[in-house]
């Protein structure tokens, strides 16, 4: 965050809820300094960042695969989409609200330490979810996921063919359903895009009107339809 006063306010906010924070004014200083800081979570102000933002995220993911990354964005959905697409686990809209920021940080750290990081592989059609590795895998390719996408994918892969409600997904956010709504939509969009990138048309993640979301293998769905047709 380039604004020194803003960095100080953010550090004060984090300190007030029990976190030690070190601030950097820009990406250059961040990349030079983060190696000297033992950190489990990074909070980055995404607006106004340089064009190599995705490259920086890729480096962070490669060198610190267990690091949780939250980005602060403007109010527009486009800002959030850019941040999530670059590899962030979560976004928080400015202006910073202490209670929401604290909840997001605590939730991100719990997810990083929680059971979704244990060794587990789940399957839907040709696509495997490697929970510990945070990635989707098929015979021909692998697509990396963020921590939040992994948590969402795990819930969907554990319920293949069934409908998972928005309320159930909101529990991942550890927030009320209405507050989590926009975040769910953003992450579902990113997860759907990555499933399509990895598995093509074989696996689909679709909206079920007024009910929630459904993950399904199209081959299995086709087989079920054929078996239900009278001979």
Residue 155, C-beta contacts closer than 8 angstroms, at least 6 positions apart: 164, 168, 169, 172
Question: What tokens were used for 224?
Answer: 């079920």
More confident residue, 53 or 91: 91
Residue 3, C-beta contacts closer than 8 angstroms, at least 6 positions apart: none
Of 142, 146, 165, which Cα lies nearest the Cα of 155? 165
Of 18, 22, 19, which Cα lies nearest the Cα of 1? 22
Whether pLDDT at 225 is above 50: no
CATH superfamily of 4-113: Response regulator (3.40.50.2300)
Angle at 173 between CA 171 and CA 176, to 5 degrees: 70
Rounded CA-CA distance 102/17 in Å is: 7
Q: Comparing 4-113 with 116-228, is the CATH topology the same?
A: no
Give residue 136's pLDDT.
Answer: 96
The pLDDT confidence band at residue 213, using thresholds 50, 70 and 90, is: very high
More confident residue, 173 or 10: 10
pTM value? Answer: 0.57
Give residue 2's pLDDT.
Answer: 54
Residues 98-118: tens digit of each pLDDT: 777 887 887 777 776 655 455
Distances in Å between the Cα of 25 and the Cα atoms of 3, 42, 183 are 7, 14, 27
The domain limits of the chain are 4-113, 116-228
Region 26-52 average pLDDT = 69
More confident residue, 193 or 18: 193
Task: Identify whether the C-beta of residue 148 lies closer than 8 Å to the C-beta of residue 111.
Answer: yes
Rounded CA-CA distance 78/132 in Å is: 29
First-residue to last-residue Cα distance in the chain = 66
Whether pLDDT at 80 is above 80: no
* Domain covering 116-228 assigned CATH 3.90.110.10 in the classification: no
């Amino acid at each position: 965050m380039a604004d020194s006063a803003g960095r100080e306010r953010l550090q004060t906010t984090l300190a007030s809820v029990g976190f030690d924070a070190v601030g950097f004014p820009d990406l250059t200083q961040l990349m030079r300094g983060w190696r000297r800081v033992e950190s489990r979570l990074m909070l980055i102000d995404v607006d106004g960042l340089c064009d190599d933002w995705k490259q920086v995220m890729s480096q962070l993911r490669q060198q610190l695969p267990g690091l949780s990354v939250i980005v602060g964005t403007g109010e527009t959905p486009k800002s959030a989409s850019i941040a999530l697409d670059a590899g962030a686990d979560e976004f928080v809209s400015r202006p910073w609200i202490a209670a929401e920021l604290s909840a997001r940080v605590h939730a991100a750290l719990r997810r990083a330490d929680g059971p979704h990081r244990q060794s587990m592989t789940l399957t839907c059609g040709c696509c495997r979810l490697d929970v510990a590795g945070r990635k989707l895998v098929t015979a021909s390719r692998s697509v990396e996921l963020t921590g939040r996408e992994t948590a969402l994918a795990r819930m969907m892969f554990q319920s293949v063919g069934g409908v998972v409600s928005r309320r159930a997904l909101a529990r991942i956010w550890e927030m009320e359903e209405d507050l989590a709504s926009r975040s769910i939509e953003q992450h579902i969009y990113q997860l759907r895009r990555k499933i399509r990138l990895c598995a093509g048309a074989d696996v689909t993640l679709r909206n079920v009107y007024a009910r929630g979301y459904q993950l399904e293998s199209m081959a299995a769905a086709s087989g079920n339809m054929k078996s239900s047709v009278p001979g």
